[in-house]
Amino acid sequence: MKNLVVIAAFCLFLTGCPQLVPVLQGAMNAAQWIGSIIEVADDSQKRWFGLNPDLPKQIEAEQAVFRARKALVAMNGIALATKSVDDKDYVSAKKELLEAYKALEALFLSLSVPVQPGMKVMEPPRIVEADRVRAALAE
């Protein structure tokens, strides 16, 4: 993430274009926050499946995390090149990130463990709601 900020600052230095500052600043803030959510989700799914082995679900979770990370990287790259928040590639990248996040969230909501006698019900790991991610991407 630090490298992305350095690249963004360098691009601004080279272009000297003050119109890019708000676009980059909003994108970088949202990307940093969403990136931290994805990292927490990844750590949570690893702990969850460590306690509750389910290989097919674990593979699905890892693929969902990978897709979300990939969409985040794509959005960051496009944000560095865009000159407007209305740029169609930038809007499309934000939409892809939100869809990847929603898929990850839905997967987390579907996790469950059958309750055995004498066992407490385990709550699946929870991640930030998609509405908050959508709001961060709207800025």
Model pTM above 0.75: no
Instruction: State the CB neighbour count (10 A cutoff) for residue 56.
Output: 7
Phi, psi torsion values for 83, nearest 5 degrees: -115, 0
Tens-place pLDDT, residues 26-60: 777 888 888 999 998 899 889 888 888 889 999 99
Tens-place pLDDT, residues 58-109: 999 999 999 999 999 998 888 877 777 778 888 898 899 999 999 998 888 8
Q: What residue segments make up the domains of the chain, in order of their start?
A: 2-138
